[in-house]
């Protein structure tokens, strides 16, 4: 009797090779501030089954977690997610490979389930239960599973079912950390009631004024005065990306002063230079199309700025752009005949844009790129 190939049973023509770099821990650069308060919080809550970091791009989620896992003596499986991972079979294969790096004979049942699994139905739930059973058999120290950029797979119900089932049956010797730009649509209500979830969001991840001072003095080598720190904090609201861009602007010219850079940032759109559109695998923000300018003529980088939970950032990226355009409009407003200034009209336009959440009709991101801090 001829055996039926696994690909025929699963309906898949072939299994693509794994991109092993997705299972490698990121290596932050040299100019990194050690955020002791956050590292301490992660350590103090590391016994909880789930740690959840939810914040927009540029808040340092990956950098923080990379620093945290470096301090751990236990095995860590790091899985950097991409849109191609929004498939329960692909997701399960990477988890299997990640744990096999520490335990080469791990998950024989998981491997069989992946080979025989058929798309649809309760595949995600079945795989999650099988993986949880294999994890329960692990020996040695407790393991940590990091799922970074979880927003890339949050739209796939079968992957969500897999993770939900895994969390429901998670063994004591395994803990999970999820980092995402959006709140994962997982069934976490019971875990929250039991106190099994530790959560950090943008309000905790923002740089405090003290951290901004340490960053400039200890990392960037440019100490700031108390007044300069206050102005920096007021302008950037502690968003690490904006703080980093201020430093980059100062570094490019020895002649420019901090107050000039901050004034430029306040008057423009916090020029983010396509920071948020970096790899093509990352989703574009709503309204982002091709590199262009705002409908009012200003660079449209802020149209792709991430939303921020801090209320002072007005929560919406497009609103942020509208507010930025409004500031510039007021600066450049020129009186017109009849006593009414163009600034009045522009201010009315920007107010309406803020209410509607749209910055004109053709606002889109800038083209150039800034490195991830």
Residue 329 is predicted with a pLDDT of 40
- Mean pLDDT within 328-355: 37
In 3D space, the residue among 5, 7, 17, 11 whose CA is nearest the CA of residue 119 turns out to be 11
- Mean pLDDT within 37-48: 96
Q: Domain extents for the chain?
A: 17-205, 207-266, 268-373
Distance CA(116)–CA(104), nearest Å, equals 21
Q: Is the per-residue pLDDT at 22 higher than 70?
A: yes
Torsion region of 238: left, alpha or beta (phi above 0 gives left; psi -120 to 50 gives alpha): left
Q: Please, where are the H alpha helices in 121-256?
A: 123-136, 157-168, 189-193, 202-205, 209-214, 226-236, 240-252
Residue 254 pLDDT level (bands cut at 50, 70, 90): confident
Residue 282 per-residue DSSP state: S
Q: Is the per-residue pLDDT at 4 higher than 80?
A: no
Residue 264 pLDDT level (bands cut at 50, 70, 90): confident
Q: 265-274 pLDDT, tens per residue?
A: 777 654 453 4
Coil, helix or strand for 322?
A: helix
Q: Is 248 exposed, middle or buried (0-12, 13-18, 19+ CB in 10 A)?
A: middle
Residue 31 is predicted with a pLDDT of 80
Q: 192-228 pLDDT, tens per residue?
A: 999 999 999 999 999 999 999 999 999 999 999 999 9
CA distances from 197 to 13, 51, 57, 72, 274 (A): 39, 6, 22, 19, 34
CA dihedral 83, 89, 91, 95 (to 10 degrees): -160
Residue 305 pLDDT level (bands cut at 50, 70, 90): very low
Q: What are phi and psi of 278, to 5 degrees?
A: -55, -85
Q: Is the per-residue pLDDT at 60 higher than 50?
A: yes
User: 162, 113 in Cβ contact below 8 A?
Assistant: no
Query: Domain 17-205 is classified in which CATH homologous superfamily?
Result: P-loop containing nucleotide triphosphate hydrolases (3.40.50.300)
Residue 296 pLDDT level (bands cut at 50, 70, 90): very low
User: 177, 53 in Cβ contact below 8 A?
Assistant: yes
Residue 14 is predicted with a pLDDT of 61
In 3D space, the residue among 283, 293, 358 whose CA is nearest the CA of residue 82 turns out to be 283
Q: Is the per-residue pLDDT at 3 higher than 80?
A: no
Q: Using a CB cutoff of 8 Å and minimum separation of 24, what contacts does 251-255 make?
A: 251/220
Residue 65 pLDDT level (bands cut at 50, 70, 90): very high
User: 166, 131 in Cβ contact below 8 A?
Assistant: yes
Q: Is the per-residue pLDDT at 338 higher than 70?
A: no
Tokens representing 209? 């004024």
- Mean pLDDT within 327-354: 37
> What is the Cα 253 distance to its own chain's centre?
30
Q: Picking from 237-241, 255-259, 313-317, which range would have the lowest pLDDT averaged per residue?
A: 313-317
Q: 116-135 pLDDT, tens per residue?
A: 988 888 999 999 999 999 99
Residue 15 pLDDT level (bands cut at 50, 70, 90): confident
Distance CA(179)–CA(80), nearest Å, equals 10
Q: Picking from 51-55, 69-73, 362-366, which range would have the lowest pLDDT averaged per residue?
A: 362-366
Largest CA distance in the chain: 93
- Mean pLDDT within 160-172: 97
- Mean pLDDT within 84-94: 97
Residue 29 pLDDT level (bands cut at 50, 70, 90): confident
- Which residue would you say has higher pLDDT here, 163 or 373? 163
User: 10, 126 in Cβ contact below 8 A?
Assistant: no
- Mean pLDDT within 347-370: 32
Average pLDDT of the chain to the nearest whole number: 76
Q: Picking from 45-59, 109-123, 259-273, which range would have the lowest pLDDT averaged per residue?
A: 259-273
Distance CA(184)–CA(169), nearest Å, equals 18
């Amino acid at each position: 009797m001829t055996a039926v190939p696994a690909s025929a049973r699963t309906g898949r023509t072939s299994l693509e090779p794994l991109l092993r770099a997705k299972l490698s821990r990121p290596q932050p650069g040299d100019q990194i501030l050690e955020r002791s308060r956050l590292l301490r919080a992660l350590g103090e809550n590391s016994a909880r089954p789930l740690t959840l970091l939810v914040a927009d791009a540029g808040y340092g989620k990956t950098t923080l977690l990379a620093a945290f896992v470096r301090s751990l003596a236990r095995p860590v499986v790091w899985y950097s997610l991409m849109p191609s991972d929004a498939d329960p079979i692909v997701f399960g294969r990477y988890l299997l490979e990640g744990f096999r790096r520490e335990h080469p004979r791990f998950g024989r049942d998981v491997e069989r389930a992946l080979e025989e699994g058929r798309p649809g139905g309760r595949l995600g739930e079945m795989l999650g239960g099988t993986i949880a059973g294999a994890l329960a058999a692990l020996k040695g120290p407790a393991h940590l599973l990091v799922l970074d950029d979880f927003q890339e797979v949050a739209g796939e119900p079968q992957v969500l079912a897999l993770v939900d089932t895994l969390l429901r049956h998670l063994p004591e010797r395994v803990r999970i950390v999820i980092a995402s730009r959006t709140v994962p649509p997982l069934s976490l209500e019971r875990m929250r009631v039991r106190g099994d979830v530790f959560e950090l969001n943008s309000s905790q991840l923002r740089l405090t004024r003290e951290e901004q001072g340490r960053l400039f003095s200890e990392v960037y080598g440019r100490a700031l005065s108390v007044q300069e720190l206050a102005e920096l904090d007021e302008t950037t609201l502690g968003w690490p990306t904006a703080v980093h861009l201020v430093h980059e602007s100062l570094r490019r010219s020895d002649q420019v002063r901090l107050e000039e850079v901050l004034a430029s940032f306040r008057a423009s759109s916090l020029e983010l230079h396509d920071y948020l559109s970096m790899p093509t695998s990352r989703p574009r923000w709503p309204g982002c199309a091709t590199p262009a300018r705002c409908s009012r003529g200003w660079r449209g980088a802020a149209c792709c700025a991430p939303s921020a939970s801090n209320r002072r950032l007005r929560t919406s990226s497009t609103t942020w752009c509208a507010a930025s355009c409004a500031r510039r409009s007021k600066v450049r407003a020129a009186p017109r005949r009849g006593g009414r200034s163009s600034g009045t009209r522009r201010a009315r336009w920007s107010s309406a844009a803020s209410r509607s959440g749209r910055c004109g009709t053709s606002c889109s991101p800038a083209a150039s790129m800034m490195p991830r801090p």
